[in-house]
Amino acid sequence: MATRNILLVLVILVLLSCIPSVRSGPNAYIRRFFAECWRMKGVCRPKCVKPEIYRIICDDSHVCCVKEKDLPPVVGK
């Protein structure tokens, strides 16, 4: 009986690993919250819009776009 339950759990885990993950979530506000960067002042995007610059990389294809006014001042320049 125990081996049957273990086999069932393994089959379910294998089937779940074959399902691709979905990037769009049920709530756009939650997705935007987790896509923020640079102390919650930047947004992860594929390409920054005109008044923004990027400083760090969010993941493989997105950069952290931050407005210049939100960046800390440069010291010693």
Domain membership flag for residue 32: no
Distance of alpha carbon 66 from alpha carbon 56, whole angstroms: 10
Domain that holds residue 68: 38-72
Domain membership flag for residue 17: no
**Alpha helix ranges (H) inside 1-77:** 2-18, 28-34
For residue 19, what pLDDT band results from cuts at 50, 70 and 90? low
Domain membership flag for residue 54: yes
pTM of the model: 0.49
For residue 14, what pLDDT band results from cuts at 50, 70 and 90? confident
Domain membership flag for residue 66: yes
Q: How many domains does the chain have?
A: 1
Domain membership flag for residue 45: yes
- Mean residue pLDDT of the chain comes to 76
Domain membership flag for residue 27: no
Domain membership flag for residue 59: yes
